[in-house]
Amino acid sequence: MEPVLATAVPTVILPKLPQHVCDILFASEENTADNDGKVSGIFHFEGKDIRINNSFKRKRCDSFTSPPYLQVFPNTSSDDSGFGTEDGSEYSKEDLGIKKRVPRWKGADEHGEYEVQKVVDHRFDKDGADQFFVKWLGWGSQSNTWEPLKNLNCHEKLNDFMKKFILDILFVKWRPLPSCKTLLATTYRSIIEQWVRNTPKALYLKKLSGGFNQKGLAVSTLSKMLNDAVHTKCLKSREEMVDCIKNHCALLRMKEVRKEQLELMKLWEDNLNSVGPGGLSVENQVDLEGPPKDFMYITQNITGPGVNSCMLIGQVAGCECTEECGTHETCCPNMAGVDWAYSALSRLIVSPRSGIFECNRFCSCGPDCPNRVVQRGRKVKLTIFRTANGRGWGLKAGERIERGAFLTTYLGEIITSEEAAARDVNYEKTGLSYLFDLDMMDPEEAPIFTIDAMKCGNESHFINHSCNPNAHVAGVWIETNDPAIPLLALFAKRSIKKGEEITFNYQGDQDPRFRGIDNMNNDPSDPNKPKRKKAKRCKCGSRFCKGFYF
Residue 392, annotated as binding a ligand: yes
* Helices assigned H by DSSP within 276-397: 332-336
Per DSSP, the three-state class of 207 is helix
Rounded CA separation 439/451 (Å): 11
Residue 359, annotated as binding a ligand: yes
Listing DSSP states for 132-180 in one string gives EEEEETTS-GGG-EEEEGGG---HHHHHHHHHHHHHHHHHHHHSPPPPH
549 and 538 in contact (C-beta within 8 Å)? Answer: yes
Q: Quick one: DSSP state of residue 68? A: P
154 CA to centre of own chain: 48
Give 489's strand partners: 409, 474
Residue 319, annotated as binding a ligand: yes
Residue 234, annotated as binding a ligand: no
Rounded CA separation 150/525 (Å): 77
Residue 154, annotated as binding a ligand: no
Residue 506, annotated as binding a ligand: yes
Per DSSP, the three-state class of 258 is helix
Residue 456, annotated as binding a ligand: no
Residue 369, annotated as binding a ligand: yes
Residue 512 CA: distances (Å) to CA of 280, 454, 535? 30, 19, 14
Residue 538, annotated as binding a ligand: yes
Rounded CA separation 457/409 (Å): 9
Residue 549, annotated as binding a ligand: no
Rounded CA separation 477/22 (Å): 95
CB atoms within 10 A of CB 181: 13
Residue 342, annotated as binding a ligand: no
- Convert 242-275 to b/e letters by CB count within 10 Å (16 or more is b): eeebebbbbbbbbeeebeebeeebeebbeebeee
Rounded CA separation 126/119 (Å): 20
Residue 61, annotated as binding a ligand: no
Residue 310, annotated as binding a ligand: no
Rounded CA separation 287/212 (Å): 10
103 and 70 in contact (C-beta within 8 Å)? Answer: yes
Half-sphere exposure of 303 (CA within 13 A, CB side): 10
Q: Quick one: DSSP state of residue 462? A: G
Rounded CA separation 111/95 (Å): 19
- Backbone dihedral angles phi then psi of residue 114, each to the nearest 5 degrees: -120, 155
**Would you list which residues are annotated within the binding site for Zn(2+)?**
319, 321, 331-332, 359, 363, 365, 369, 467, 538, 540, 545
**Would you list which residues are annotated within the binding site?**
319, 321, 331-332, 359, 363, 365, 369, 391-393, 464-465, 467, 506, 538-540, 545
**Would you list which residues are annotated within the binding site for S-adenosyl-L-methionine?**
391-393, 464-465, 506, 539
